[in-house]
Amino acid sequence: MFGRRRRSELEHVTRNAAGEFIYTGDWYAYSGTVPRKRLICELWGLCGVAAALLLVSGFLPAPGLIGSWYVQIPYVLSLGALLSVLWALGRLSLAGDPIRESVLYGAAQSLPRRLVLAAVLSGLTAVCEALFLLRNGDQNALPVGIAFLVLSAVGCAVLVLSRLRISRMSWEEKQK
C-alpha cells in the first residue's frame, strides 16, 4: 500500500521540452473552516509543548524509567512516534497550498493516526510508571516518579487535543 503511493508519486513526474522535471499529478487544496495558517500554527504549538513535556520527563531520574523495561519501551516508542508527528507536520507546513497527492497521503491524512499513536504511547508510559510506583513504592524517589507520571499524562492530553484540532482539516481536489 505505501510502496504503491511512493511509486505513484514518481509516475506523476515527467520532463518538459526544456528537460526540466514537472509534476503532472493531482493537487489538493485546503478547504477547512479554520484558516490553514492558523491551524498549522496551533498544531506546531501543541506538538511543541508535547515534545517539551516528554523530553523534560525523560531527563528526570524517575524510578520506573531507570529500573524498568516496561516503562522504558513505551517512553522510547512515544518519542519515536512524536518525531514522526513532527516530521509529517513539517512536511505539511512546507508543502504550501495546494499540496501534491503524495503529501496528502503521506502527511495530511496520516497525521491523525500518528497523533493517536503518540498519545497512546505517552499515556501507556504514564500508566506503566504508575504501576511501577505502586509495585515498588520507593518513598525517596516518589516525588520524581509522580512528576514523570504527570508530565507524561499531560503530554498525552496535549496530543489528544492536537488530534481534535487536526480533525478540522479537510482537503478537496483542485481542478486542473
Residue 25 banded pLDDT, cuts 50, 70, 90: confident
Residue 12 banded pLDDT, cuts 50, 70, 90: confident
* Residues linked to residue 173 through DSSP beta bridges, in sequence order: 28
Q: What is the pLDDT of residue 11?
A: 77
Residue 15 banded pLDDT, cuts 50, 70, 90: confident
How far lies 50's CA from each of 22, 63, 115, 150, 155, in Å? 38, 22, 11, 12, 5
CA distance 99 to 171: 9
| 10: its cell numbers | 514518481
How far lies 80's CA from each of 97, 121, 142, in Å? 28, 10, 27
- The residue that leads in pLDDT, 2 or 157, is 157
Is the pLDDT reported for residue 161 higher than 80?
A: yes
Q: What is the pLDDT of residue 94?
A: 94
Average pLDDT, the chain: 90
pTM above 0.95, yes or no: no
| 2: its cell numbers | 505505501
Residue 46 banded pLDDT, cuts 50, 70, 90: very high
Q: What is the pLDDT of residues 79-130, one digit of tens each?
A: 999 999 999 999 999 998 899 888 888 899 999 999 999 999 999 999 999 9
Among residues 46, 33, 53, the alpha carbon closest in space to that of 161 is found at: 46
Spatial contact of 46 and 161, defined as CB atoms under 8 Å apart: yes
Q: What is the pLDDT of residue 1?
A: 43
One-character DSSP codes across 36-52: HHHHHHHHHHHHHHHHH
| 144: its cell numbers | 520524581
Average pLDDT estimate for 132-154: 89
Backbone φ and ψ of 19, nearest 5°: 90, 5
How far lies 17's CA from each of 14, 21, 22, 23, 25, in Å? 10, 10, 10, 14, 18
CA distance 16 to 57: 52
| 121: its cell numbers | 504511547
